[in-house]
Amino acid sequence: MIVLGLETSCDETAAAVVRDDRRILSNLVLSQLDEHRPFGGVVPEVAARAHLAYLPKLIERALGDAGIAASDLDGVAATAGPGLIGALLVGLTAGKALAYAAGKPFVAVNHLEAHALTARLTEGIAFPYLLLLVSGGHCQLVEVEGVGKNKLLGTTLDDAVGEAFDKAARLLGLAYPGGPAVEQAARSGDARRFALPRPMHGRSGADFSFAGLKTALRHAVAALPAPPDEQTRADLAASFQAAVADSLADRAGHALARFAATHQGIAPVLVLAGGVAANMTIRAALALRAEVHGAKLVAPPPALCTDNAAMIAWAGIERLQLGLVDGFDAPARPRWPLAGAAG
Ligand code: KG4
Ligand code: ZN
């Protein structure tokens, strides 16, 4: 089975071709960073127009790189949500049109589910597993029991973790997008110089919160006698990153304990997904915490953690294998939660 995947939910225009033996035949991602940088964030209308300008050529190249024609496809999958409505509509409509014209089944993919299933594409891991989804819009711990079978164990009470990175970067005068910039700056920083809070630490359950940490960082900057020099900025970035990593590890630890209790006899696996999973300090903290709980940490390569279309194609393959096909009336869904609350 060969499926074309399209992703246009935010500021990445992406097209990829993936085969059901887990081979990625092509995987193209066009970042719109340059378009949005002057605004310091993603502008929805700018994103939609850029998708419209880039996507047709990108689809052509994705098929060309894979060495196939649309007639060779077994299906077309496109992100239907969650995301920016105008941006989503571009990829969704293109996917439907292509599937209709080629006479192929169409799959409307949940972007979060695609992140959740990526470790099955990259590592071939089996259900069930515990997922930590950390991106610009999401911060969730989810029990993944199967395709479309997800149970929410914890979510953020305020900011998503990627959002917290982006805001921290802005506060420190670092480049957009913030996550990679903070990680880069933190490399030459001392994480012990500023004592920042570990939100939710030790509290029961697996919810997250980052608003207090962001405020603490702002106070730390304001308390400096002068605007931070480069070393101080690096120390602030490192201290912030360490607090986030500790907090994520603490919450994941709670969820792992629950997962172990409800899945006795199954070797626990903690899967990382979402753009923030590209962060090496966070990976290391979670690997340590997983080890404490006798669990294995599985983290896809960074390029497949951030937004891409290979994960959309793969989610399409998983759904098609179960006979799950969508109609051409499948709506774009700006809000589309992955899972309901766990009982
Ligand atoms: O999953 P993603 O590509 O897009 C969605 O939000 O769906 O995640 C983007 C987020 C941004 O907030 C970005 O700052 C963050 O992931 N990010 C990182 C790193 N790379 C990307 N955060 C921390 N460290 C990184 N290396
Ligand atoms: Zn994403």
The pLDDT, as a whole number, for residue 343 is: 43
**The listed CATH number (3.10.20.590, 1.10.8.60, 3.30.420.40, 3.30.450.20) that belongs to domain 2-117+307-340:** 3.30.420.40
Instruction: Quote the pTM value.
Output: 0.94
CA–CA distance from 201 to each of 4, 75, 132, 326 (Å)? 42, 45, 17, 42
Is the domain spanning 126-299 CATH 3.30.420.40? The answer is: yes
- The CA 177 to ligand 1 mean position distance, Å, reads 8
Which ligand minimizes its atom distance to the CA of 164? Answer: 1
The response to whether residue 275 sits with its C-beta less than 6 Å from ligand 1 reads yes
**Residue of higher predicted confidence among 339 and 215:** 215
Q: Give start-end residues of each CATH 3.30.420.40 domain in the chain.
A: 2-117+307-340, 126-299
- Tell me: the pLDDT tens digits for 49-58? 999 999 999 9
The pLDDT, as a whole number, for residue 234 is: 98
Query: Which residues on neighbouring strands pair with residue 129, listed in sequence order?
Result: 144
Average pLDDT over residues 190-198: 97
- The CA 168 to ligand 1 mean position distance, Å, reads 13
The response to whether residue 82 sits with its C-beta less than 6 Å from ligand 1 reads no
- The CA 135 to ligand 1 mean position distance, Å, reads 5
Whether residue 260 has pLDDT greater than 70: yes
The pLDDT, as a whole number, for residue 298 is: 97
Q: Which ligand 1 atom is the nearest neighbour of the CA of 273?
A: 1
Interatomic CA distance for residues 343 and 340, integer angstroms = 9
CA–CA distance from 45 to each of 33, 177, 284 (Å)? 14, 18, 37
The response to whether residue 180 sits with its C-beta less than 6 Å from ligand 1 reads yes
pLDDT band at 340 (very low <50, low <70, confident <90, very high): low
Whether residue 341 has pLDDT greater than 60: no
- Tell me: the pLDDT tens digits for 115-160? 999 999 999 999 999 999 999 989 999 999 999 999 999 999 999 9
Site to substitute for ligand 1 among 113, 244, 276, 286, most atoms within 8 A of C-beta: 276
